[in-house]
Structure 1
Amino acid sequence: MLKIVPIVALSLAAVAAISAAAGAFRWSGMTHNLRARLDAARAPVVPASVSFAGLEDLPAPVRRYFRTVLRDGQPMVAGVRVRHRGTFNMGETADQWKPFTSDQQVITRRPGFDWDGRVSMMPGLTVRVHDAYVGGEGILHAAVLGLFPVADMRGTRAVAEGELMRFFAEAPWYPTALLPDQGVRWDAVDDRRARGTLVDGPLTLAMLFTFNDEGLIDTVRAEARGRTVGDRIIPTPWQGRFWNYQERGGMVVPLEGEVAWLLPEGEKPYWRGRIAEIRYEFARP
């Protein structure tokens, strides 16, 4: 029996290693296909540079924000590559924070992104996640080791709306996408808040942006984003919060953030992350 135990352990380790390798290969192919679709959905970024001439009619906090984070005449952001590190809350009731790393690709016109995440559940056991908005389609796919699906949501209006909300809320990382000539309409609320509206195809989103004393975006809130509870999707208030703004790519962008559901009993954060690397692709005249 003592001789058999090491053999069984080695066999299990070999099976785990083979499964991990097979999952990584399969996941890599899926990522390649998603990002090829993302690239195919691109539209020209017009105009190719920022002009402060069109800002005067905007609500005061929005106008102050653009003048704080951008420079007049700088090129528009066409694409972004972001690498994150942080923790993800996997618990529906009690908190279960797990470390993650991710690689995200974004295009600003037509709005789209693919977030490719790796959540470490325990040593040797990783959940791979694609959270994406590609060509107007929302996608949420998660699989243990990249092989065994635990979530696969796509093709519905609710999923598409939720993913477009994520693109809109994360725009402080690519702030030129929030300019009026990039399709965002701004309406005043008060001296600290403004409502932004974004349209993509049949989808129209309105989100509340709150600005801090420095004129930077503090929070972005949606009154109803689809939250998965069991086998149901429940519209729930949702919020992203940003801080630690620094200069990157000639713009002032946040390097840390948190995302939370706003439940009747209080906030339930489920994503906390920081930017490990961010690279921009700019529009060409």
Structure 2
Amino acid sequence: MNYLYKLVKFFIRYNLKENVLEWAGLFRFLGHDSREFAIAEWTNLLKKSIHPDIIRSFFRILVDEKKIIIKNGIVNIQDEQQLQRDFEVVHSIINLLSDLSIESHSKLLWSVPQGYQIPKKIADQFDHLNSWIQQLIQNTNDRLIFFAPYYSEAGLRHFSLSLRTLISVKKEVKIDWILGEVHNEENEKAINFLNQTFDPQRINIYLPKNLNERDLVIHAKVLISDNERGYMGSANFSKGALISQFELGVTLSKSQVESLIKLIDYWIQSDFLVKLP
């Protein structure tokens, strides 16, 4: 695979399209005099928190292509001018792809019961919902919105490691949980788990107002990350839906995500959805 294509794929995959020139500038700034700097210096200058695994993947691409050498946490740039040209090309390609909307063509998402055999030619047309959601959580930088009528404690435990890591690494991230009703045993357990597991300053739990009058009945299942990516499908956020049931979903484009966020925020601001104390 072409080195520049790997970089393009990396920045798109991890929702870092807007950061290409910023990262290039850090190489230029830190390596201007000696062409050497510590990875920790580079990381500390980032405008937003990035998961360490993502940073390691980025530097690995450059090491494999011999653009840099890393020894004991110190980066040595082999050709700073060429590296800057590479970043400029990557930035241009990403802008072109965005204009053509090429990146929006993605596979359907599914969850298939364990042991259920489906021909490879068919299976290759789908991405696994569970893995996709885990990656979406990891790549969130600002706001994560779970929207579904029903949750289960087991389902939330399934994501808890990824969510706790996200909150620990990215101090500015907040998570909104929107449920269909509270007078449901599974939802009650899920709410208790959230309150016991996460800092109340980092999460918000919302329910429809006037449940008895059924002003707003939630049936949709949606997951939104920042203002960029999302999922809509049949699966509630329960362990069964993610592992032992057949579920289908689709990824959402940036414009679709923006529309859904406007709708959800309107419901919150208009008190159709009220925050649990």
TM-score bracket for this pair, using the shorter chain length? under 0.3
TM-score normalised per structure 2: 0.24
Which has a greater percent of helix? 2
Task: Give the number of the structure whose residues are more often strand, by fraction.
Answer: 1
